[in-house]
C-alpha cells in the first residue's frame, strides 16, 4: 500500500519551551546557552535576524546581546525533555505510526493521499499540538524520509506553508533539489560534503543523479540509499521501536576548575548515579565502565593532563552502589594532584537487557537491590532529580556547572510550578 512520510519539527524548540511559561518573550529576541553558559545552542527568529550565530561563545557576543536587549537563558534540559515527551504523546494519539527521531523531531508514516488531504492532516496536527502544549511545530510530507526532511525545512522557512509543505516525486522535484546544497541533505556530513564536492556534486539534485558504484565505495551503502530517497524511492523505513543503546554517557564541564580529589569524587559519584538511573529506565545492565578526566586544553597557562580507563565489571549490573565502587577505585588510580581539571565523565558500555543474567562462578552475587533501586527512581521521578541521592555525591557541589540564567523547572519540580494570581476586583 502506498505511503507518505512526514517529519514534524518543533520550531526553535528550546526557545519555544521558555515562551510557553513566559509569554512576554513572544516576539522578543531570545537565546539559550549550552552547559556552563558556554555557547549559544538555540535562537529565536528575532535573534537570528540580529546576526547572532549558532555555536557562538557567549562571552564573545555578550556586548551584542546586551545592546539589543536579547533575553538569555541557561539550558534547562529537565524542562525541555518533559515538554518533548508531552509533544510526542500528543502526536502518538493523533497518528499511530511514529518514530521519535530526536528531542524535537519525529517521523510519521501515513497512507498516501492527495495534497488537500495531507494539508488538512498537517493543519490538524500543528493546531492540536499547539493547543495542548503551546509548542509551535512545522511539518513536511514526502514519499521518502529524506524528502520529508527537505519539505519540513521549506515549511519552516515559509510561514505561508500552513499545514506543511508537500513534496512529490513528480516534475516539481528537480527545481527543489537544485536549490538545496548537498550539505543540507539529511545524513550528509562535512566529510561527505567534501568528498562529493570533489566529484562536482554540490546540490541535492547532483546527488540524486550520482553514480551508485562511486557512492557505495566512498559513502557506503547509506550514500546509495540517500540517492534513491532523493529520487523518491523509500529506502529508510520507519523505526517505531528505538534500537537498543550500545552505551550511556554522563559528564559535564565544571563550573570552576577542580583540583581536589574530594570534589572529583563527588562529581564522579553524581555522574555514575545519573548514568545508572538512565540504563535502568531502559531496562538495561552495563558490562563495562569507562572513566575519563581532563584539564582545559584551551588554557595555555595551565599544565595539561588527560587520562581514561575502561574496566570490565564482574557481572553486568545497573546497581548504583556497585558502579560507584568501581568508578571511585578507578578515579583514585587516574587522579593526579597539581592539575586544574575541567571535566570528569563516565560511559557505561556492553549494555544487555536486564532479564539476561550472566553469573560468575568465583563471586558471590550482591543481595538483590531491585526493589530499593525501583523505590529510589520512583521518588526522584516524582519529586525531582536528586531528591534522594548517595551521600558520597555531596550536597553543596561547588564544582557544579554554571546555570546562572536558568528558568524554573515548571513541569518537573513541585517547588517551581508556575503560580497563577487572580487580580482583585473592587466593586463600588
User: Is residue 218 domain-shared with residue 267, that is, in the same domain?
Assistant: no
Question: Would residue 79 count as lying in a domain?
Answer: no
Question: Would residue 71 count as lying in a domain?
Answer: no
Looking at 22-31, 55-64, 71-80, 351-360, which range is the least confident one? 351-360
363 against 301, higher pLDDT: 301
Is the Cα torsion angle 94, 100, 106, 111 positive or negative in sign?
negative
Picking from 171, 205, 230, the residue at the C-terminal end of a domain is 230
Picking from 188, 203, 230, the residue at the C-terminal end of a domain is 230
Q: Is the pLDDT of residue 20 over 60?
A: yes
User: Is residue 202 domain-shared with residue 287, that is, in the same domain?
Assistant: no
In this prediction the pTM is: 0.81
- CATH number of the domain at 363, please: 3.30.1490.100
Torsion of CA 251, 253, 259, 262, to 10 degrees: -40
Number of structural domains found in the chain: 2
User: Is residue 203 domain-shared with residue 114, that is, in the same domain?
Assistant: yes
What domain range includes position 262?
247-393
Q: Is the pLDDT of residue 202 over 80?
A: yes
User: Is residue 258 domain-shared with residue 195, that is, in the same domain?
Assistant: no
- CATH number of the domain at 202, please: 1.10.150.20
**What is the percent of the chain where pLDDT is above 70?**
94
User: Is residue 275 domain-shared with residue 372, that is, in the same domain?
Assistant: yes
pLDDT digits (tens, 9 = 90+) for 312-351: 998 899 999 999 999 999 999 999 999 999 999 999 999 9
Give how far Cα 238 sits from Cα of 1, 71, 104, 144, 223, Å.
Answer: 15, 38, 17, 10, 18
Contacts of 406 (CB under 8 A, 6+ apart): 73, 74, 75, 76
User: Is residue 196 domain-shared with residue 293, that is, in the same domain?
Assistant: no
User: Is residue 346 domain-shared with residue 212, that is, in the same domain?
Assistant: no
C-beta separation of 52 from 32 below 8 A: no
pLDDT digits (tens, 9 = 90+) for 229-267: 999 999 999 987 777 778 999 988 888 889 999 999 999
How many whole angstroms separate alpha carbon 220 and alpha carbon 216?
Answer: 4
Q: Is the pLDDT of residue 278 over 60?
A: yes
Picking from 202, 230, 258, the residue at the C-terminal end of a domain is 230
pLDDT digits (tens, 9 = 90+) for 96-141: 999 999 999 999 999 888 889 999 999 999 999 999 999 999 999 9
- The confidence band for 363, taking pLDDT boundaries of 50, 70 and 90, is low
pLDDT computed for residue 13 by the predictor: 96
pLDDT computed for residue 404 by the predictor: 77
User: Is residue 156 domain-shared with residue 270, that is, in the same domain?
Assistant: no
User: Is residue 216 domain-shared with residue 104, that is, in the same domain?
Assistant: yes
C-beta separation of 268 from 328 below 8 A: yes
pLDDT computed for residue 426 by the predictor: 58
pLDDT computed for residue 171 by the predictor: 62
Angle at 225 between CA 223 and CA 231, to 5 degrees: 110
Q: Is the pLDDT of residue 374 over 60?
A: yes
User: Is residue 114 domain-shared with residue 140, that is, in the same domain?
Assistant: yes
User: Is residue 205 domain-shared with residue 254, that is, in the same domain?
Assistant: no
Most confident of 163-172, 182-191, 363-372: 182-191
Amino acid at each position: 500500500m502506498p505511503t507518505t512520510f512526514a517529519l514534524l519539527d518543533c520550531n526553535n524548540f528550546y526557545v519555544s519551551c521558555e515562551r510557553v511559561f513566559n509569554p512576554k518573550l513572544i516576539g522578543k529576541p531570545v537565546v539559550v546557552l549550552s552547559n556552563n553558559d558556554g555557547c549559544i545552542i538555540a535562537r529565536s527568529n528575532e535573534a537570528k535576524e540580529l546576526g547572532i550565530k549558532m555555536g557562538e561563545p557567549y562571552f564573545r557576543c555578550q556586548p551584542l546581546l546586551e545592546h539589543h536587549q536579547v533575553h538569555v537563558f541557561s539550558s534547562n534540559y529537565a524542562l525541555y525533555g518533559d515538554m518533548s515527551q508531552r509533544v510526542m504523546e500528543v502526536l502518538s494519539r493523533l497518528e499511530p505510526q511514529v518514530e521519535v527521531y530526536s528531542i524535537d523531531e519525529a517521523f510519521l508514516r501515513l497512507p498516501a493521499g492527495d495534497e488537500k488531504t495531507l494539508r488538512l492532516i498537517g493543519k490538524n496536527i500543528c493546531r492540536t499540538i499547539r493547543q495542548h502544549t503551546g509548542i509551535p511545530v512545522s511539518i513536511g510530507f514526502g514519499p521518502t524520509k529524506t524528502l520529508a526532511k527537505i519539505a519540513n525545512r521549506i515549511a519552516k522557512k515559509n510561514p505561508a506553508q500552513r499545514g506543511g509543505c508537500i513534496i512529490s516525486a513528480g516534475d516539481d522535484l528537480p527545481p527543489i533539489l537544485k536549490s538545496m546544497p548537498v550539505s543540507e541533505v539529511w545524513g550528509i556530513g562535512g566529510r561527505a560534503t567534501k568528498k562529493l564536492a570533489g566529484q562536482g556534486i554540490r546540490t541535492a539534485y547532483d546527488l540524486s543523479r550520482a553514480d551508485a558504484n562511486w557512492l557505495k565505495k566512498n559513502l557506503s551503502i547509506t550514500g546509495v540509499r540517500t540517492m534513491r530517497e532523493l529520487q523518491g524511492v523509500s529506502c529508510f523505513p520507519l523505526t517505531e521501536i528505538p534500537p537498543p543503546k550500545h552505551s550511556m554517557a554522563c559528564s559535564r564541564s565544571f563550573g570552576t576548575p577542580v583540583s581536589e580529589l574530594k570534589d572529583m569524587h563527588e562529581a564522579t559519584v553524581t555522574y555514575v548515579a545519573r548514568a545508572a538511573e538512565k540504563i535502568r529506565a531502559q531496562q538495561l545492565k552495563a558490562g563495562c565502565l569507562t572513566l575519563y578526566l581532563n584539564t582545559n586544553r584551551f588554557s595555555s597557562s595551565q599544565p595539561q593532563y588527560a587520562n581514561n580507563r575502561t574496566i570490565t565489571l564482574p557481572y553486568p549490573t545497573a546497581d548504583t552502589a556497585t558502579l560507584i565502587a568501581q568508578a571511585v577505585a578507578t578515579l583514585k588510580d587516574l587522579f593526579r594532584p597539581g592539575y586544574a581539571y575541567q571535566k570528569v565523565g563516565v560511559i557505561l558500555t556492553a549494555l544487555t537487557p536486564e532479564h539476561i543474567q550472566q553469573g560468575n562462578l568465583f563471586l558471590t552475587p550482591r543481595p538483590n537491590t531491585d526493589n530499593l533501586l525501583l523505590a529510589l527512581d520512583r521518588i526522584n521521578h516524582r519529586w525531582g532529580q536528586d531528591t534522594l541521592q548517595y551521600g558520597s555525591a555531596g550536597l553543596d557541589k561547588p564544582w557544579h556547572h554554571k546555570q546562572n540564567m536558568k528558568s524554573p523547572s515548571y513541569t518537573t519540580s513541585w517547588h517551581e510550578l508556575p503560580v497563577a494570581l487572580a487580580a482583585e476586583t473592587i466593586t463600588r
